[in-house]
Structure 1
Amino acid sequence: MYRVFFLVSITFLLLSCNDYQKLLNSTENEVEKYTAAENYYNNGEYRRANALIEQIIPSYRGKPQGERLVYFFANSYFETKLYYSAAIQFENFIKSYPNSQRIQEAYFMEAKSYFMLSPLYSLDQDDTFIAVDKFQVFINRFPNSEYVSEALELMDELQNKLEKKDFEISKQYYTIRDYNSAIKSIDNFIADNPGTIFREEALYYKWLSQYEIAINSIESRIVERVTELERSLDNFLRYYPDTIFIEDLSEKINIAKQLL
């Protein structure tokens, strides 16, 4: 029974593929292609839908079905993870159909396409900046849209990525033992990103830089710098009394105090 079912399934699949290929290669049957494209799209077969839509879009430009096809074309790229093409086609939809009932969704999906293109924080962030700008345009234009809450969440994720990149650059100064540059860079990072989720860790690395400067000071500067180190630690613990770095901080401040 299973073997019969398997053979029937394979036969049906081959016939289906054959019918699709014939339709795709046909130079006529635009109405049939439109119907098939819509069926493929609604059934989640986005690659097939995309290929058929690409063929018939010129014929439906200016017709009522044209708007629907252009949106399906853009979204089928998104669903097949071809995000650059999706972004371009959503932008095309926005320009071609500014009064469409789908215009809010198109603005949102254009921004989301760039969000999906945003790479790891360590790489070039051009697409991240574009995504942030696109989401901001969407929110400003449609502040009451049902997609605003998701847009804000995605923007937060992008902003955290940009902050992570900036913070890692600042932290790199500590890694290469350029402690004065680390302190200056971290101060600038916090000033530019006062609400950053990396604030605690940034201040920790600033304190570590101050610590390295203090314990390696000439004798005439040790008292001054260790005293300043204690003051900085008190300020840090006032903001972060339950910091995960407490053990390391306690150990290092005790080492520094022994130099007095």
Structure 2
Amino acid sequence: MKTFLRLAVLAVPLALAACGGKDDLDELALNDTPPEVLFNEGLSLRAQGKLRDSTQKFEELDKLYPYSEYSKKSLVNLAFLNYSRGKYTETVTAAKRFVTLYPGDEDSAYMLYLAGQAYFRQMPDITRDQAVTRKAAGAFNELIQRFPESEYVPDAESKLRIVHDQLGGKEMQVGRFYLKKRNYIAGINRFKTVVVDYQTTRHVEEALFRLTEAYYALGVVNEAQTAAAVLGHNYPDSQWYKDAYSLLNKGGYEPSEDSGSWISRAFKSI
């Protein structure tokens, strides 16, 4: 009897907890509000500036009527509302889901733009890992490639220049670190990335000088001469070119381009 009473006492709170959880689940299932009503309620709350309540309304609609036309419209609103509220992770989630489900829809351009903007707003400073910055580049590039006529492309291209400048700056920071440690090969690989992938950024002049410096330190004189020659041809008034020329001149060399060098080919391909 004592054992039975103990089990009975334990069962009461467990049963209550189970009932509470079931009620929470059933509450959504029993909501038979038509999707158009939920959608209009969400729009009304949004118009009133009640962004959190509006977000919840669209989330409810999406759960009740997944894959419906109103759920599709809700995803657009959810991406916008979350972005407006600074909920960037949620913005990306809604935008990515929309693009996956409706890749050819005209609103996919806007969703890619919002995803890029959400990543862009989270870009860290140059000293930290740039994974988010690369994701911003990916979203903006996908928008430009898939929807070149979209009204969002000009701003995406403008943001992409900033993104590339930051990514190029990160490569330069790491490259300088390796150069300081006399790990010339590792440094060259970083400067090469700048020259090949971020050639239109402000970092390319220094990257060409650092290549001159690193190759010269390794004794690969023809590549050092080529880097300096390409630097002088494209940026004749640059202080970096003057420094590269001076470095070579001290060893009895001058800038001289080897057309077979990867550096020369990289610039000719642009």
- Fold match, TM over 0.5? yes
Give, in whole Å, the separation in 2 of the partners of 1:87 and 1:180. Answer: 39
- Matching of residue 130 in structure 1 with residue 125 in structure 2: no
- Counterpart of 2:52 (choices 47, 50, 60) is 47
Question: Mean alpha-carbon deviation: is it higher for 96-105 or for 238-247?
Answer: 238-247
Give the aligned partner of residue 159 of structure 1. 164
SS of 2:96's partner is helix
Q: Which runs of 5+ in 1 are unaligned?
A: 1-24, 214-224
Give the aligned partner of residue 90 of structure 1. 95
Shift of the alpha carbon at 1:76?
Answer: 0.9
Shift of the alpha carbon at 1:133?
Answer: 2.5
- Matching of residue 80 in structure 1 with residue 85 in structure 2: yes
- Counterpart of 2:199 (choices 172, 195, 200) is 195
- Matching of residue 242 in structure 1 with residue 247 in structure 2: no
8 Å CA contact 1:167–1:186 kept in 2: the answer is yes
Identity of aligned residues (%): 18
Shift of the alpha carbon at 1:157?
Answer: 2.0
Question: Mean alpha-carbon deviation: is it higher for 125-134 or for 179-188?
Answer: 179-188
- Alignment length (residue pairs): 217
The one-letter amino acid of 1:46's match is L
Q: Which runs of 5+ in 2 are unaligned?
A: 1-26, 252-270
Label 1:105 to 1:45 Cα distance change in 2 as closer, same or farther (>3 A): same
Give, in whole Å, the separation in 2 of the partners of 1:94 and 1:231. Answer: 45
Shift of the alpha carbon at 1:88?
Answer: 0.9
Shift of the alpha carbon at 1:93?
Answer: 1.9
8 Å CA contact 2:235–2:241 kept in 1: the answer is no
Counterparts of 1:222-237 in structure 2, within 5 Å, are none
Give, in whole Å, the separation in 1 of the partners of 2:235 and 2:165. Answer: 20
Label 1:112 to 1:187 Cα distance change in 2 as closer, same or farther (>3 A): closer
Give the aligned partner of residue 268 of structure 2. none
Root mean square deviation of aligned Cα: 4.2
Give the aligned partner of residue 22 of structure 1. none
8 Å CA contact 1:84–1:117 kept in 2: the answer is no
Shift of the alpha carbon at 1:28?
Answer: 6.2
The one-letter amino acid of 1:77's match is N
The one-letter amino acid of 2:95's match is F
TM-score by length of 2: 0.61
Give, in whole Å, the separation in 2 of the partners of 1:103 and 1:233. Answer: 45
Counterparts of 1:1-260 in structure 2, within 5 Å, are 30=33, 34-61=39-66, 63-98=68-103, 100-176=105-181, 178=182, 180-181=184-185, 184-185=188-189, 188-189=192-193, 191-193=195-197, 195-197=199-201, 198-205=203-210, 239-243=234-238, 249=243
Label 1:183 to 1:99 Cα distance change in 2 as closer, same or farther (>3 A): closer
